[in-house]
Structure 1
């Protein structure tokens, strides 16, 4: 399929666990001298979380939204032998092989709606994107937004595209509306119509083929109901393509967005 695969690096040092997230990501150094937030195949929902991160991260980037760069990280669990936390030890042991890394945005701070202003245009694009991928994890309680060098960056897309946990029900699930009443950016009057006019035409079969081609094949093997990795890639693309055209008509913000 078309598209450039994610760069692959090798973890050389496990620095520390990051306990803000439920899946216990870790901060690691790699052989390219980069520092990454690493998400593990052995955590929580396993490889499906990593697939969601790749699809959403690479799609967001192509739509002009800011997301940390992604790489795949080869992990030899031996690098964590000195880690005293047994939970971390078990996570490393169960995650040998290919995992996912995100560029570590040093000195980034968490988004605070009281301290940072967001334009209706930018808020609209992010809310529209979250509606497209059905992101249920960008609420005011847990924004999953960082402010880095004065700009807003999107992180943590593992809880998106809930339909990939039940493929037979994917068409019905993907057809549902999106409730943005609790969205972290709802108070900024997101301009959904403008966002849809700009972004929806960009969501094409070709673009989604390019994005899904970035998913490592090892994360797509042995999925019940699919005879090949490419068939599963197409299954990821189809709900997004169908959803893009009309999801702006089914975003529910309610009174929160009118403040």
Structure 2
């Protein structure tokens, strides 16, 4: 009697589907820590913090300085009532006067017109009198077209020129005369006419003659570039 062979099951991996094994992730080598780099980073961060703190403190540093609370004309003495004080953070380039020097400023004369609400600088006051011994103060009125375009300030050396009038020109009397002077104060333009009065100091011997010239209106003011300011 013949034997009936029972079919054997197919071996795994040949005809059956093989199960995939899990793949291990690649090993990543740990980075070595460099103590020197870490210390450098810490120092940079700390240095930046200190620098920022110093900058903040410097920008917030305030100083007590002198200000003007009243107008002081050029040539007038500065009184204690003319001065005020303010606490401000100023740029080092600003030439202000510390409030601690208040007593030394009182009694000095204004070298220029001092306006209320402004800071006081040392160059705006002087111990010298604007009118010296042997000089006379003469006001010179100039029409708008006679006022120099260049800014006049106290101390500027000028020449007052007497120009011939219409009658003198007709008679052939046309030689101009000149008197040297120094600007003491420049007034504001008169409303309506625009006339500007400039106080000038001149030698006592020339004062009366200059005043007579001014009364005729036939004068011009010329800035003396050679003389400069005093």
Instruction: Specify the TM-score bucket, using the shorter chain as the normaliser.
Output: under 0.3
- TM-score of the pair, normalised by structure 2: 0.22
The structure with the largest strand share of the pair is 2
The structure with the largest helix share of the pair is 1
- TM-score of the pair, normalised by structure 1: 0.20
Q: Which has the higher contact order (CA 8 A, sep 6+)?
A: 1
